[in-house]
């Protein structure tokens, strides 16, 4: 028979979030190590400490409800982390940093939504202590997202600049190749136009 009380939903979502945060404690050190920007490395390291504190708060929520602390596999977080791992393999430099920020913000938005729902459920169910603890986690996630947004401004510009640098490095090779075919690279089209 399906579970159909708000308390059961609340507990299930709480278990999901507990597992999500545990997964994140394993992913953040890898993200920090892969990042090129020192500011981004520091942001990931600081968020790891916050995440560990959030796990402690979640454990306190379970205790306040008289429930055993346990997680339920969070497939949503698993998927987001998997995408981030793929980015680490596919990109490097400032472009990798831009990809890491995009992935980290997906994580933050997932967590903001989850903690927002959990805090609302706690309030509706009359669990004031749980609501307060979940609200603290929610506030930290919002602050982390804002910090990532600030970092993204400069890092995304660096990624764009590195793309421009790459095009400039390829441009001389293109010019010399076209010079070997007729000088200005437009020789064939100019000759066709004259013959018509």
> Counting Cβ atoms within 10 Å, is residue 53 exposed (0-12), middle (13-18) or buried (19+)?
middle
pLDDT, one tens digit per residue, over 117-126 is 999 999 999 9
If we measure between CA atoms, which residue out of 104, 88, 86, 84 comes closest to residue 96? 88
Show the tokens assigned to 143: 């602050």
| Mean pLDDT on 167-185 | 51
Side-chain half-sphere CA neighbours of 70 within 13 A: 6
Q: Which residues contact 187 (CB under 8 A, 6 or more apart)?
A: 181
The confidence score (pLDDT) of residue 133 equals: 99
Task: Record the pTM.
Answer: 0.81
Give the model's pLDDT for residue 165.
67
Under 8 Å between Cβ of 102 and 49: no
Residue spans of the domains in the chain: they are 6-163
Positive or negative: CA dihedral 155, 159, 164, 169: positive
Q: Distance between CA 54 and CA 76 in Å, rounded?
A: 18
Q: Percentage of the chain with pLDDT > 70?
A: 82
Q: Which ranges constitute the DSSP H helices of 65-127? A: 75-90, 93-124
CA angle, residues 32, 118, 134, in degrees to nearest 5 = 60
Please, what's the largest Cα pairwise distance for the chain?
89
Q: Residue 98 — pLDDT band, cuts 50, 70, 90?
A: very high
CATH architecture assignment, domain 6-163 = Up-down Bundle (1.20)
Is a pLDDT exceeding 60 seen at residue 87? Answer: yes
Of the candidates 61, 25, 84, the one whose C-alpha atom is nearest the C-alpha of residue 137 is 61
pLDDT band at residue 194, thresholds of 50, 70 and 90?
Answer: very low
- Please, which residues have CB within 8 angstroms of residue 119's CB and are 6 or more apart in sequence? 131, 134, 135, 138
The mean pLDDT value of the chain amounts to: 89
Q: How many whole angstroms separate alpha carbon 146 and alpha carbon 187? A: 53
Percentage above 90 pLDDT, the chain: 80
pLDDT in tens, 40-75: 999 999 999 999 999 999 999 999 999 999 999 999
């Amino acid at each position: 028979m399906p579970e159909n009380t708000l308390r059961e939903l609340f507990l299930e979502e709480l278990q999901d979030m507990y597992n999500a945060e545990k997964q994140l404690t394993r992913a953040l050190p890898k993200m920090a190590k892969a990042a090129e920007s020192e500011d981004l490395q520091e942001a990931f390291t600081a968020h790891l400490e916050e995440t560990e504190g959030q796990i402690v708060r979640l454990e306190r929520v379970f205790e306040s409800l008289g429930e055993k602390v346990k997680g339920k596999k969070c497939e949503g977080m698993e998927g987001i982390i998997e995408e981030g791992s793929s980015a680490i393999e596919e990109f490097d430099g400032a472009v990798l940093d831009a990809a890491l920020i995009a992935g980290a913000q997906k994580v933050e938005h997932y967590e903001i939504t989850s903690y927002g729902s959990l805090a609302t459920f706690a309030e509706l169910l009359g669990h004031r202590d749980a609501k307060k603890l979940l609200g603290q986690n929610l506030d930290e996630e919002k602050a982390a997202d804002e910090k990532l947004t600030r970092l993204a401004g400069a890092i995304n510009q660096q990624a764009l600049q590195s793309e421009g640098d790459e095009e400039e490095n390829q441009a001389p090779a293109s010019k010399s190749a076209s010079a070997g075919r007729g000088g200005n690279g437009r020789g064939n089209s100019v000759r066709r136009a004259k013959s018509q």
